[in-house]
Amino acid sequence: MDRNADLEHALAFVINRIEEEATRSGYALTDEQRFLLNDLPRDSALPMTNVNDPEYPPMMVPRDVAYERLIALAREARRSDLRINPTSELDWKFAVAVSKLNRHPMSWLLRWAGVKERKPWWDRLLLVGAALTFTSITFALMWSAGVGSGSRLGWIVFGTVYISMLLLLYFASRHIEEWQLKHTIEKYRSSSGLSGQQS
């Protein structure tokens, strides 16, 4: 699997479909919208504020009309594709999986446009298992640190093991998500005729 080639293919597909939908609607993309589509922001330009602090009233978030139009065009392009050819859903889901695997902001645009990746049936079971493991290890560590009558060494061991456990769960979840996305991409590639690309 060539991740760069997959990403280029997915981005080209989505950008092309959005531009075609804009042209079909009678209002082609403006230069600002085309620039935004080809260079999506990787994070919000708005400052983070504490919404619970009474000294800082809630900040009015300005609407990004250009971005909203791109989302609406992507949503309509997908709907149009599904009306004409229901198997085109594979291309859209391929684009979502590839952009999410590469942590590209196109995955956000597609998610807001209503294109969702399908989670495997065992995903919730894995989440429940991780939560139970986390909770039981936390209680076991707290109990063992308490048995040591609050000694400094007991708390140091507790803190070290606890932080190690959190890091292990974090990296394990990232690894499982990446494996799942690669598996999904291969499935969509073989189903939609993209198997001619490098594997």
Task: Note the pLDDT of residue 194.
Answer: 56
Q: Count structural domains, the chain.
A: 2
Quickly tell me which residue has 């803190």 as its tokens: 159
For residues 49 and 101, membership in a common domain is answered with yes
| CA-to-CA separations, 109 to 21, 30, 132, in angstroms, rounded | 15, 18, 34
Q: What is the mean pLDDT of the chain?
A: 79
Q: Which residue has the higher pLDDT, 5 or 76?
A: 76
For residues 7 and 105, membership in a common domain is answered with yes
Quickly tell me which residue has 């298992």 as its tokens: 129
Give the global pTM.
0.69
Q: Considering 71, 95, 117, which residue would you say is the last residue of a domain?
A: 117
Q: What is the mean pLDDT of residues 171-195?
A: 79
Give me the count of residues in the chain: 199
For residues 130 and 74, membership in a common domain is answered with no
Q: Considering 117, 147, 163, which residue would you say is the last residue of a domain?
A: 117
* Structural domain span for residue 130: 119-199
Quickly tell me which residue has 């959005």 as its tokens: 18
Task: Note the pLDDT of residue 119.
Answer: 73
Separation of alpha carbons 44 and 42, rounded Å:
7
Task: Note the pLDDT of residue 150.
Answer: 61
Task: Note the pLDDT of residue 20.
Answer: 93
CB within 8 A of 97, min separation 6: which ones? 117, 181, 184, 185, 188
**DSSP-based three-state secondary structure for 187:** helix
Task: Note the pLDDT of residue 61.
Answer: 58
Q: Considering 117, 152, 181, which residue would you say is the last residue of a domain?
A: 117
Helices 152-192 and 89-101 pack at an angle, to 10 degrees, of: 150
Biggest CA pair distance of the chain: 75
Nearest Cα to Cα of residue 91 among 73, 72, 110: 110
